[in-house]
Amino acid sequence: MAISSIGKDKLVFDVTADLSDNDNIGAFVRAGTDGQQISWTNIGLIAAQFTGQVAGMTTNVTIDADTAGVAGNITLTADSVTDIDGLISAWNLANPSNTITLTTGDGSQVPTADITLAGGADGKDGLDVNVINDITVGSITSDVNIVSNFEYDEDTAHGDGDTGAFVLAVRHDADTSLVSADGDYAPLQVDSIGRLKTVTDIDSITLDIQYAEDSAHIDGDIGAFMLSVRDDVPTSSTSADGDYQSFKTDAVGRLWNNFSSNIGLLNTATSVTDSATILVATPLANRVSLMVQNLSNSAIYVGGSGVTTSTGVRVAAGAELSLDLGDNVDFYAIANTGKTCDIRVLEFA
């Protein structure tokens, strides 16, 4: 008997075949206009296996069935006395046609729970299919050889209508690795809205935002916008001397500097004798300048800690001296021998 249709490929039942062999459909089923007989093959042979550990064990083992295609699971019944090697020996003695082997791990461990090898399966009878539109996928070996245009040689030109495979990536909100070691294959990663994560080095020179020292300005030069931090009362925003920190501006955007006072002031009275005396023992924080006034009827001499009447700068009786002097500089004065002078200091910050 044959089933056919004009212009269509149909299965053809070969009435000349030995129908008593009805367990092998490939012996009497044909297909195509050429009547090619459909053959069969046995696929899917799987050996049972156990990998891991159960109660009573401290390290992983791998136990494999020696024969692939034996259906069902294999269970080693633990008695809390016999070690793994002993359980395997007992099983193999009782099941010579379905033996098992400890592939990796320590067989001297004594399990207190059963060990089950799972996944064993008989092969399945399957048709050998020759697909006319063959696909070759990389170096993967398959009974189905399919040729489709989603692989291209290096440096080949794009062609209109070229087809390609859909590429998937993994959403990974954290910027951490998804693989265990350098050199492992890893998936592409995207953020929560699908943007591909990349590492980009920006060459600021090619963007015209850097210029060589002493180079001339050119109309239309491009530069980066520089921001500052509003700080109405200047305070430190870093933890230690030498740290990077931002420029500071006041409430209307004026840059804070050491040339004007806008935080506070402090006045101090000090008696200066013929021994070098520090004028301000505890200076005003963030001091930018100070003024010294000599209210006595004798001159004083100012300078560093070793100042003398021979080396210091003279401030005459009734005179004043103003200096730009920060709060990290100690300032001293000394009077002539036998003199005690009334000195006033006004600090600005």
User: 87: part of which helix (H) or strand (E)?
Assistant: helix 84-94
Q: Is the pLDDT score of 24 beyond 80?
A: no
CB-CB contact of 85 with 92 (8 Å):
no
Q: Stretch 305-324: mean pLDDT, rounded?
A: 95
- pLDDT at position 31, please? 55
| Residue 2 Cα distances to 18, 25, 30, 205, 301, angstroms | 15, 15, 10, 79, 128
**What percent of the chain has pLDDT above 70?**
75
CB-CB contact of 167 with 188 (8 Å):
yes
Q: Which of 31-45, 64-78, 160-174, 323-337 tops mean pLDDT?
A: 323-337
- Take residue 276 and report the two structure tokens written for it: 């070098």
Query: What phi, psi does 93 have (nearest 5°)?
Result: -65, -40
Domains of the chain: 1-38 (no CATH), 49-117 (no CATH), 265-348 (2.60.120.770)
Output DSSP code: residue 86.
H
CB-CB contact of 259 with 286 (8 Å):
no
Q: Is the pLDDT score of 215 beyond 80?
A: yes
**Terminal CA-to-CA distance of the chain, rounded, Å?**
111
Task: Report the amino acid identity of residue 188.
Answer: L
Residues 150, 145: Cα–Cα separation, whole Å: 14
pLDDT in tens, 217-243: 888 887 777 888 998 888 888 899 889
| Residue 73 Cα distances to 52, 65, 68, 90, 240, angstroms | 16, 10, 12, 16, 68
- pLDDT at position 226, please? 83
Residues 87, 63: Cα–Cα separation, whole Å: 11
Please give the mean pLDDT across all residues of the chain. Answer: 81
pTM for the model: 0.34
Ramachandran bin of 80, using left for φ above 0, alpha for ψ from -120 to 50, beta for the remaining angles: left
Task: Report the amino acid identity of residue 231.
Answer: D
Helix (H, G, I), strand (E, B) or coil at 290: strand
Ramachandran bin of 35, using left for φ above 0, alpha for ψ from -120 to 50, beta for the remaining angles: left
Least confident of 68-77, 91-100, 103-112, 209-218: 68-77
pLDDT in tens, 276-314: 999 999 999 988 899 999 999 999 999 999 999 999 999
Between these two residues, 308 and 155, which has the higher pLDDT value? 308
Between these two residues, 99 and 259, which has the higher pLDDT value? 99
Q: Stretch 151-170: mean pLDDT, rounded?
A: 82
pLDDT in tens, 98-121: 899 999 999 999 999 999 998 887
Task: Give the confidence band of 29 by pLDDT, cuts at 50, 70, 90.
Answer: low
Question: What strand order describes the sheet that includes 320-323?
Answer: 265-272, 341-348, 289-294, 320-323
